[in-house]
């Protein structure tokens, strides 16, 4: 009887430990989304880059635009606060802010915009086809309606990739800075 009891306790502890390893705050999408892949122009230096530029870093991917009145600046401010809480580990993280409005978001405008948040935030601008391909890859919806009532719509998904470029997490809510910081730290430690 004691041996059976010990076996049940050991199994329960093992299962419990396995569950805690995957206890992310954001939604775990490991294996469900493709690895990071893109080509774009980085606003900071005007250099044409790809995902290879960020290998070895934890990457946060977010689509938006500089004229966004609320969601984009709030999301980037929350990410910047989490980076600040990471201390030296923040050097292991890059936030890629991809504009969905390249007609208005020039490289200079993007550079000034992202630099107002944190040094780990890179603004990326691409051709319409490059942006569309990257958005399709991660199932991100957006639309731009030019004209007198210029309107931009985009989903607010934030994707988190490990150092090897594999997708790990997605979130549509960055308000909980403690949770965001913890997830970033765990990804950085992987």
Q: What one-character-per-residue DSSP string does 120-178 give?
A: TEEEEE--HHHHHHHHHHTT--EEEE-STT-EEEE---EEEE-TTS-EEEEES----HH
CATH number for the domain spanning 35: value is 3.40.30.10
- So what's the pLDDT on residue 5? 38
Q: Is residue 17 part of a domain?
A: no
pLDDT tens, 89-107?
999 999 999 999 999 999 9
Domain that holds residue 160: 25-189
- So what's the pLDDT on residue 148? 87
Ranges of residues in the chain whose predicted pLDDT is under 70: 1-22
Query: pTM of the full predicted structure?
Result: 0.85
CA–CA separation, 144 and 33 (whole Å): 25
Q: Is residue 9 part of a domain?
A: no
Given the DSSP bridges, would you call strands 27-28 and 167-171 parallel, antiparallel or unpaired?
antiparallel
- So what's the pLDDT on residue 147? 85
Q: Is residue 8 part of a domain?
A: no
- So what's the pLDDT on residue 21? 52
Q: Is residue 47 part of a domain?
A: yes
End-to-end Cα distance, the chain:
40
Domain total of the chain: 1
Q: Is residue 71 part of a domain?
A: yes
């Amino acid at each position: 009887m004691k041996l059976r009891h010990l076996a049940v306790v050991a199994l329960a502890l093992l299962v419990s430990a396995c569950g805690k390893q995957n206890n992310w705050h954001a939604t775990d999408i490991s294996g469900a989304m493709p690895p990071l892949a893109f080509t774009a122009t980085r606003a900071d230096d005007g250099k044409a880059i790809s995902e290879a530029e960020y290998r070895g870093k934890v990457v946060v991917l977010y689509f938006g635009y500089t004229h966004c009145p609320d969601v984009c600046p709030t999301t980037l401010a929350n990410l910047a606060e989490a980076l600040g809480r990471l201390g030296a580990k923040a050097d292991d993280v890059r936030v890629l802010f991809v504009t969905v409005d390249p007609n208005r978001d020039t490289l200079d405008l993007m550079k000034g915009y992202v630099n107002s948040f944190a040094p780990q935030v890179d603004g990326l601008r691409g051709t319409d086809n490059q942006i569309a391909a990257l958005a399709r890859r991660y199932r991100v919806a957006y639309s731009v309606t030019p004209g007198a009532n210029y309107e931009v719509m985009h989903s607010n998904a934030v994707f988190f990739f490990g150092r090897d470029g594999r997708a790990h997490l997605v979130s549509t809510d960055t308000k909980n800075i403690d949770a965001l910081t913890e997830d970033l730290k765990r990804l950085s430690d992987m």
